[in-house]
Structure 1
Amino acid sequence: MTMIDIIQSTILFLALNLLAFSVYYLDKQAARRGRWRISERTLLTLALIGGSLGAVAAQQLLRHKTRKEPFRSILVAILILHGALAAVLAFAPQWSLRLPQDF
Structure 2
Amino acid sequence: MKIFLYYLIIINLYGLFLMFYDKNKSRKGQWRIPEARLFIVATVFGSAGIFLGMQLFRHKTKHLKFILGIPAIGFVQLFIIFKCFMNIAQ
Q: What is the count of residue pairs matched by the alignment? A: 90
Q: Which has the higher helix share?
A: 2
Distance 1:90 1:22 in 2: 28
Based on CA coordinates, which of the two structures has the bigger radius of gyration? 1
Q: In the alignment, is the contact (CA less than 8 A) between 1:40 and 1:71 conserved in 2?
A: no
Match of 1:49 in 2: 44
RMSD: 1.6
Return the structure number with greater relative CO, CA threshold 8 A, min gap 6: 2
The 2-side partners of 1:86 and 1:7 are apart by 14
The percent identity for this pair of structures is 27
**Structure 1: gaps of 5 or more residues:** 1-5, 95-103
Matched, 1:77 2:78: no
SS of the residue corresponding to residue 32 of structure 2 reads: coil
- Give the unaligned 5+ runs of structure 2: none
SS in 2 for 1:38: coil
**Deviation of the 1:92 alpha carbon:** 2.7
After TM superposition, where is structure 1 displaced by more than 4 Å over at least 4 residues in a row? none
Please report how far the alpha carbon of residue 39 of structure 1 lies from its aligned counterpart in structure 2 after TM superposition. 0.9
